[in-house]
Amino acid sequence: MQNTVVAHFRDGTLVKGVTNNFFPNKPGFHVVDKDSGARHEIATADLKAIFFVKDFAGDAARDERSDVERTGFGKKMRVEFDDGETLVGYCQGYSPNRPGFFLFPADPGSNNDRVFVVTAATRSATFI
């Protein structure tokens, strides 16, 4: 299955493209760049998070709602990254000992379908 993704590196750089070989238990994957078509080999440990998006444009002016209650997505949690960004969403399989976990956005109108958060890039991850 092909996924539209934005890979956010810990150093702040981004790679936007598509992947069909990301697996949470693997150390890396490939992204075909949306503009150049170049194939990037990406080590998951170098990332802050992988955003699985509906489209690349998004809406930077949109305020994500965190007050929405959703069912079927797991427990609600707040994730704070080392760079200060905070996400609120739902998680079904969080363990601080795992290299990462999926977070589903609290806001159903989000451009993100889901986010794979790299645990080592977080300051905190707490259930709320």
Q: Is residue 63 part of a domain?
A: no
**Which of the residue ranges 5-19, 55-69, 102-116 would you say has the lowest mean pLDDT?**
55-69
Residues 49 and 82 grouped into a single domain? no
Amino acid letter, 92: Q
Look at the alpha carbons of 42, 6, 126, 24 in this order and tell me if their dihedral is positive or negative: negative
Residues 15 and 49 grouped into a single domain? yes
For the stretch 40-66, pLDDT in tens is 999 999 999 999 999 988 777 777 878
Number of domains in the chain: 2
Residues 79 and 45 grouped into a single domain? no
Residues 10 and 45 grouped into a single domain? yes
Domain carrying residue 113: 75-127
- The residue with tokens 């092909």 is 2
For the stretch 60-100, pLDDT in tens is 777 787 877 888 899 999 999 999 999 999 999 899 999 99
The Cα–Cα gap between 54 and 57 comes to 9
Neighbour-count burial of 68, counting CB atoms closer than 10 A to its CB (0-12 exposed, 13-18 middle, 19+ buried): middle
The CATH number of the domain holding residue 109 is 2.30.30.100
